[in-house]
C-alpha cells in the first residue's frame, strides 16, 4: 500500500512539470491527480479514516462536492454486512441456552415475536431482516413436543419466506427420537416423519445433539451435524477425583450398550456392565439381571436421556444390591417426566449429571443434581458451520462435525 | 385360495347378467315386462341352487355361449396373472423355491451383460397392470447386483406394472447405516433413495442390520425377521435349555441377541467386548457374563470375514464354554471366512440361504436353512393385503 502511495506521489509532479506549455488541460489533470494524492495521503495520515475537512479544504469548494463524504458511510456498511450475515434466533423452548450460545459467539440474539392465538395457533414474526443471511434457529423439541416442533417449523418457514440464504435448525433435544423404528407392525417411524417435516418446512441443514440412534441422521436428505454431549460430561467427570481403577461404566439397558462402551473407552478404558431387564411373561413383574461385576466399585450409569427415570432407578437399585459403592447417573437430555424427580432424589444416586439441552425448572432441582452446559459446544459448532471450517483443533475433534 | 378364486368368477358372471338386464330396461319401455320376468327367474334360480345361478338358464335367455366362456376364462386368467415373480441373477435358487412354495412359475426374463459391463434386462412377458415381485439380494458383487435390481425395477415401471415390490433377502450396504466419523456417506440411505427413485413401490427385506434402516425409505418396508427359522431349527435339537447361553459377538448386536435369548426359553445373555487400547495395539477381548460349562449360541445378523465371531468363539472356549454354535441370517463369507469357521471352533454354523453359498465353500459344520417359505408366505400376504406382522407373533 505504501509503495503504491509513493509511486503515485512520485509520478504526479514529474508529469506536471513535463507538460507545462498546455496549461488548461494540465491544470485539470494535475488537480485531479492532486485530489487523489491528497485523498490517499489523508487516508494514510489518519489511520485509514478519511478527513472530511481535508477534502473540503483541498477542493476549495469547487472540485469536491460535499456528498463525496459518503465513502465513510460505505465503509460502515461493509462492517454491518459482515455482522449481519450470521443470525441466531431462539424459540420459546429453551431461551436460556440460546442466550448462552449467542454470548459464546459474541452476538445478540435476533429479535422475534412469538405468540399463541386463543385457539392455540402459533404466530411467528422476525423483527429484523434476514435477507441473504445465514440463520440458526435454536429450538429443542422437548415437551410439549408437538407445540415446540410446530413452532420450529413455523420459524423455519418464516425465515424461508424472508429470503434467508441458509436456514439451520439447531435442535439440542430431538423429540420423537426414540420413535426411530417399527418394533411391531402397523406403527409409524415418527423420527423419520419429523425429519421429513423439518426438511419440507425449508431447513437447509440440521444441527442435533445426541440423537437416540446414530442412524437417525440418515432420515434427513439434508446435511446433519451430530454433536455429542458426552464430551462435556467426560470433562466434568475427569475433574472429579474418582480413581480410574474403581470405575465401572454401566448401560441401563441393552439398547444403549454401544453408547456406554464408547463412554467407557474414553473414561480410561473402564470396564463395562449391562443391566438386562426382562419380563418373563405377560403381567409378570420384571426381573433385573446384571451382566458384569460392580462389587466395591463406583458405577457410572450412562444413557442419552432420563425420562420417567424408571429404567435407571431400577438399574441403580440393582447395582446397589450387587455391591456397588456409589452410583452416578450421566445423561445428556433431562426430559424428567413425572415421577422422575422423586425417583432420582430418593438416595439411589451419589450424583445425577445432566446437560441443559432441555431446561430444568428450578422447582425440580434436588441436591444430587448437576447441570452442565452444552452452550460452548453448540456455539463452537455453529461458528464452524457458519465459517465452513472444520479445523483440526484437538479439543473439538470428537465433535465429529468435520 | 382355490375356492376364493372360483367364487369371484361366479359372482362376476351373475353381475354381468344383471347388467345386461338393466340394459334392456334402459332401452325400451315396451320391454319392461319381459326383463322383469327374467329377473324373477334368476332370483328364484339363485335361491334354489345355493346362490349359484343355473348356467343353462343364463345361457338360454341372456348370455350367448361364447361370451360366457370368454368372460369366465378372462376372469381366471386375470386373477392369476395379477401376481408375477421375477428373479435377478444373484440368487435364482431361492427365487425358484419361493415360486414353488407359492405354486407359481417364475416370470421369464432376459438378463445379460454387454462387453463393457453394462447390464441389459428385458421382461419376456407382459406385466401390464400386474403386481410384480423382483427377488434380488444385493450381495457381493454388491454394486453389480444393486444395479441389476434397479434396471429390473425400471423395466417393470416402463412396462406399466401396477405395483413393483423389491424383495431383497440381503440388503447390501446395510452396515453403512450411520456416520461414525465426519465426511462419510450414509450409503444405506443412498441405496434406499436409489431403489425408490428407480420406481419401487414397496420393499420387502430380511434382517436389516439395524431396525432404523426401515426409516430410510419413504415407501412401505416389510421387514422379515429370519430368527424364527433358526429358532425352529435349534428347538429341534436336543440342547437342554438350562445349558444355554446366548452370546452377542459385539456390543452393537446386544439387542438382537437379547431378543433371540428371550425366545430361546429366556436363556441368559453374555457379550464379547472387544477393544483396541491404543493405536497399533492388538485387540483385547473381554467377556461380560458367564459361559463356563455351557453351550454358547453366538447370534449375529451376518458373517462376513468371520473375524469377530471366530475371535469371540476362541474367547468363549477359553472361558470354559462346552460347545459353541454360530447362528446368523446372512452368510456373506468373504475370505477368509471359510477357513476360520471350519477351524474347529464351532460345533455348528447355522445360516440361511438369503445369500447363496458356493458348493466349494461347504464344510462339515455348516447347516443351511431356507427362508423361502417365510418369504413366500410374506409375499402372499402382501399381495392379498392381509397381515404380515402376524407371521412373527
Among B213, B288, B389, the residue with its CB nearest the CB of A272 is B288
Banded pLDDT at B14 (limits 50, 70, 90): very low
Among B177, B266, B270, the residue with its CB nearest the CB of A215 is B177
A55-181+188-227+377-387, CATH topology level: Rossmann fold (3.40.50)
Measure the CA–CA gap between B285 and B309, rounded to whole angstroms: 12
Highest mean pLDDT among B16-25, B273-282, B339-348: B339-348
Measure the CA–CA gap between A209 and A355, rounded to whole angstroms: 11
Banded pLDDT at B148 (limits 50, 70, 90): very high
Among B181, B254, B269, the residue with its CB nearest the CB of A400 is B181
**pLDDT score, position A83:** 53
pLDDT above 90 (res B342): yes
pLDDT above 70 (res A62): no
A231-355, CATH topology level: Rossmann fold (3.40.50)
* Residue of A254, A270, A385, A401 to mutate, interface with B, max B Cβ within 10 Å: A254
Chain A residues with CB inside 8 Å of B270's CB? Answer: 291
How many CB atoms neighbour CB B23 within 10 A?
11
Mean pLDDT of A80-100: 84
CATH code for the part of the protein at B225-368:
3.40.50.2020
Measure the CA–CA gap between A109 and A100, rounded to whole angstroms: 10
> Nearest chain A Cα to B212, which residue?
A181
Closest CA to B343 of B306, B377, B369: B306
Q: Where in chain A is the domain with CATH 3.40.50.2020?
A: 55-181+188-227+377-387, 231-355
> Nearest chain A Cα to B218, which residue?
A192
CB B124 within 8 A of CB B155: no
Q: State pLDDT tens for residues B30-53.
A: 334 433 333 433 334 334 444 443
Shortest distance between the Cα of B261 and any Cα of chain A, in A, equals 11
Query: Using the beta-carbon criterion (under 8 Å), do B183 and A402 form an inter-chain contact?
Result: yes
**pLDDT score, position B379:** 94
Banded pLDDT at A186 (limits 50, 70, 90): confident
Mean pLDDT of A287-301: 93
Mean pLDDT of B211-236: 93
Chain A residues with CB inside 8 Å of B251's CB? Answer: 257-258, 261, 272
pLDDT above 60 (res B251): yes
**pLDDT score, position B339:** 94
CB B105 within 8 A of CB B125: no
Chain B residues with CB inside 8 Å of A278's CB? Answer: 262, 266
**pLDDT score, position B281:** 65
Which contiguous run of DSSP H or E holds residue B288? strand B283-288
Chain B residues with CB inside 8 Å of A216's CB? Answer: 212, 215
Does residue A115 come out as left (phi exceeding 0), alpha (psi in the -120 to 50 range) or beta? beta
Q: Over chain A, what is the mean pLDDT?
A: 80
Q: State pLDDT tens for residues B252-261.
A: 899 999 999 9
Cα of first residue to Cα of last residue in chain A, in angstroms, is 37
Mean pLDDT of B129-144: 95
Banded pLDDT at A283 (limits 50, 70, 90): low
pLDDT above 70 (res A75): no
β-bridge pairing A134-138 and B202-206: unpaired
**pLDDT score, position A240:** 86
Shortest distance between the Cα of A168 and any Cα of chain B, in A, equals 18
Does residue B160 come out as left (phi exceeding 0), alpha (psi in the -120 to 50 range) or beta? left
CB A274 within 8 A of CB A296: no
Query: Lowest-confidence range among A35-39, A73-77, A297-301?
Result: A35-39
Of chain B, the percentage scoring pLDDT greater than 70 comes to 78
Mean pLDDT of B337-364: 95
Query: Using the beta-carbon criterion (under 8 Å), do B212 and A196 form an inter-chain contact?
Result: no
Q: Is B231 exposed, middle or buried (0-12, 13-18, 19+ CB in 10 A)?
A: middle
Measure the CA–CA gap between B126 and B123, rounded to whole angstroms: 7
Q: DSSP 3-state assignment of A306? A: strand
**pLDDT score, position B9:** 35
Does residue B384 come out as left (phi exceeding 0), alpha (psi in the -120 to 50 range) or beta? alpha
Measure the CA–CA gap between A245 and B124, rounded to whole angstroms: 69
**pLDDT score, position A388:** 77
Mean pLDDT of A304-331: 94
Measure the CA–CA gap between B56 and B35, rounded to whole angstroms: 17
Highest mean pLDDT among A391-395, B31-35, B46-50, B147-151: B147-151
Of chain B, the percentage scoring pLDDT greater than 90 comes to 64
The helix-helix angle for A2-18 and A23-45 (nearest 10°) equals: 160
* Residue of A179, A215, A290 to mutate, interface with B, max B Cβ within 10 Å: A215
Chain B residues with CB inside 8 Å of A181's CB? Answer: 210-212, 214-215
Mean pLDDT of A184-207: 93
* Residue of B177, B180, B207, B212 to mutate, interface with A, max A Cβ within 10 Å: B212
Closest CA to B307 of B291, B289, B283, B325: B283
Banded pLDDT at B276 (limits 50, 70, 90): confident
CB B191 within 8 A of CB B198: no
CB A267 within 8 A of CB A245: no
CB A302 within 8 A of CB A263: yes
B134: Cα separation from own chain's centroid: 10
Shortest distance between the Cα of A292 and any Cα of chain B, in A, equals 5
pLDDT above 70 (res A108): yes
DSSP output for B362-386: --TTEEEE--HHHHHHHHHHHHHT-
Give the 3-state secondary structure of B32-82: CHHHHHHHHHHHHHHHHCCCCCCHHHHHHHCCCHHHHHHHHHHHHHHHHHC
Q: Which residue has the higher pLDDT, B245 or A283?
A: B245
Banded pLDDT at A2 (limits 50, 70, 90): very low
**pLDDT score, position A78:** 47
**pLDDT score, position B81:** 55
Shortest distance between the Cα of A8 and any Cα of chain B, in A, equals 50
**pLDDT score, position A183:** 82
Shortest distance between the Cα of B323 and any Cα of chain A, in A, equals 21
Banded pLDDT at A389 (limits 50, 70, 90): low
Query: Using the beta-carbon criterion (under 8 Å), do A214 and B268 form an inter-chain contact?
Result: no
Measure the CA–CA gap between A384 and A368, rounded to whole angstroms: 35
Query: Lowest-confidence range among A185-194, B2-11, B112-121?
Result: B2-11
Banded pLDDT at A87 (limits 50, 70, 90): very high
Measure the CA–CA gap between B166 and B11, rounded to whole angstroms: 33
pLDDT above 70 (res A93): yes
Query: Using the beta-carbon criterion (under 8 Å), do B255 and A258 form an inter-chain contact?
Result: no
Q: Over chain B, what is the mean pLDDT?
A: 81
pLDDT above 90 (res A272): yes
pLDDT above 80 (res A48): no
> Nearest chain B Cα to A250, which residue?
B288
> Nearest chain B Cα to A268, which residue?
B277
A247-A251-A257-A262 Cα dihedral, nearest 10 degrees: -40
Cα of first residue to Cα of last residue in chain B, in angstroms, is 23
**pLDDT score, position A49:** 43
Which contiguous run of DSSP H or E holds residue B299? strand B295-303
Measure the CA–CA gap between B258 and B256, rounded to whole angstroms: 5
Query: Lowest-confidence range among A122-126, B68-72, B277-281?
Result: B68-72
Does CATH place domain B78-223 in 3.40.50.2020? Answer: yes
Q: Which stretches within A162-278 are classed as H helix?
A: 190-201, 230-239, 257-266
Convert B67-90 to b/e letters by CB count within 10 Å (16 or more is b).
Answer: ebeeebeebeeeeebebbbbbbbb
What is the edge-to-edge ordering of all strands in the sheet holding B269-276? B283-288, B269-276, B244-248, B295-303, B323-331, B348-352, B366-369
A35, three cell numbers: 485530489
Highest mean pLDDT among A19-28, A259-268, A347-356, B384-393: A347-356
Closest CA to A331 of A358, A299, A302: A302
Measure the CA–CA gap between A227 and A247, rounded to whole angstroms: 25
Q: DSSP 3-state assignment of A376? A: helix
Among B188, B216, B266, the residue with its CB nearest the CB of A278 is B266
Convert A354-387 to b/e letters by CB count within 10 Å (16 or more is b).
Answer: bbbbbbbeeeeeeebbeebbbbebbbbbbbbbbe
Rg (CA), chain A: 31
Banded pLDDT at A31 (limits 50, 70, 90): very low
> Nearest chain A Cα to B287, which residue?
A292
* Residue of B213, B215, B289, B393 to mutate, interface with A, max A Cβ within 10 Å: B215
Q: Where in chain B is the domain with CATH 3.40.50.2020?
A: 78-223, 225-368
Chain A residues with CB inside 8 Å of B286's CB? Answer: 271-272
β-bridge pairing A166-171 and A205-209: parallel
pLDDT above 50 (res B176): yes
**pLDDT score, position B279:** 62
**pLDDT score, position B277:** 67
Query: Using the beta-carbon criterion (under 8 Å), do A218 and B210 form an inter-chain contact?
Result: no
Phi and psi of A137, rounded to 5°?
A: -110, 115
Phi and psi of B270, rounded to 5°?
A: -140, 160
pLDDT above 80 (res B158): yes
Query: Using the beta-carbon criterion (under 8 Å), do B288 and A265 form an inter-chain contact?
Result: no
pLDDT above 50 (res A23): no
Query: Lowest-confidence range among B83-92, B129-138, B205-214, B379-388?
Result: B379-388
Of chain A, the percentage scoring pLDDT greater than 70 comes to 74
Amino acid at each position: 500500500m505504501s509503495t503504491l502511495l509513493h509511486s503515485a506521489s512520485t509520478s504526479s509532479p514529474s508529469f506536471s512539470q513535463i507538460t507545462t506549455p498546455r496549461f488548461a488541460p494540465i491544470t485539470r489533470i494535475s488537480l485531479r491527480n492532486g485530489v487523489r494524492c491528497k485523498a490517499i495521503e489523508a487516508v494514510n495520515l489518519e489511520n485509514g479514516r478519511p478527513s472530511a475537512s481535508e477534502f473540503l479544504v483541498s477542493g476549495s469548494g469547487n472540485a469536491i462536492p460535499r456528498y463525496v463524504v459518503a465513502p465513510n458511510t460505505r465503509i460502515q456498511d461493509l462492517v454491518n454486512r459482515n455482522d449481519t450475515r450470521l443470525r441466531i434466533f431462539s424459540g420459546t423452548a429453551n431461551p436460556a441456552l440460546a442466550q448462552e450460545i449467542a454470548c459464546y459467539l459474541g452476538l445478540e440474539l435476533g429479535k422475534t415475536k412469538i405468540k399463541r392465538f386463543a385457539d392455540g395457533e402459533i404466530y411467528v414474526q422476525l423483527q429484523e431482516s434476514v435477507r441473504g443471511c445465514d440463520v440458526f434457529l435454536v429450538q429443542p423439541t422437548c415437551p410439549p413436543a408437538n407445540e415446540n416442533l410446530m413452532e420450529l417449523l413455523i420459524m423455519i418457514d418464516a425465515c424461508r419466506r424472508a429470503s434467508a440464504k441458509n436456514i439451520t435448525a439447531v435442535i439440542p433435544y430431538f423429540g420423537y427420537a426414540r420413535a426411530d423404528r417399527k418394533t411391531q407392525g402397523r406403527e409409524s417411524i415418527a423420527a423419520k416423519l419429523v425429519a421429513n417435516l423439518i426438511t419440507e418446512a425449508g431447513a437447509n441443514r440440521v444441527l442435533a445433539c445426541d440423537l437416540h440412534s446414530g442412524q437417525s441422521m440418515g432420515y434427513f436428505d439434508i446435511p446433519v451435524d451430530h454433536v455429542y454431549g458426552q464430551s462435556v460430561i467426560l470433562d466434568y467427570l475427569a475433574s472429579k477425583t474418582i480413581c480410574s481403577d474403581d470405575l465401572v461404566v454401566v448401560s441401563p439397558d441393552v439398547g444403549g450398550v454401544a453408547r456406554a462402551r464408547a463412554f467407557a473407552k474414553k473414561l480410561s478404558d473402564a470396564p463395562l456392565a449391562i443391566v438386562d431387564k426382562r419380563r418373563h411373561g405377560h403381567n409378570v413383574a420384571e426381573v433385573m439381571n446384571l451382566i458384569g461385576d460392580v462389587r466395591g466399585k463406583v458405577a457410572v450409569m450412562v444413557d442419552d436421556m432420563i425420562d420417567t427415570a424408571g429404567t435407571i432407578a431400577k438399574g441403580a437399585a440393582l447395582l446397589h444390591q450387587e455391591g456397588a459403592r456409589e452410583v452416578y447417573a450421566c445423561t445428556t437430555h433431562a426430559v424428567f417426566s413425572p415421577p422422575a424427580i422423586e425417583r432420582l432424589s430418593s438416595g439411589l444416586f451419589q450424583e445425577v449429571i445432566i446437560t441443559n439441552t432441555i431446561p430444568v425448572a428450578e422447582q425440580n432441582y434436588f441436591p444430587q443434581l448437576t447441570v452442565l452446559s452444552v452452550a460452548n459446544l453448540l456455539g463452537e459448532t455453529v461458528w464452524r458451520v457458519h465459517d465452513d471450517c472444520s479445523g483440526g483443533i484437538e479439543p473439538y475433534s470428537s465433535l465429529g462435525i468435520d
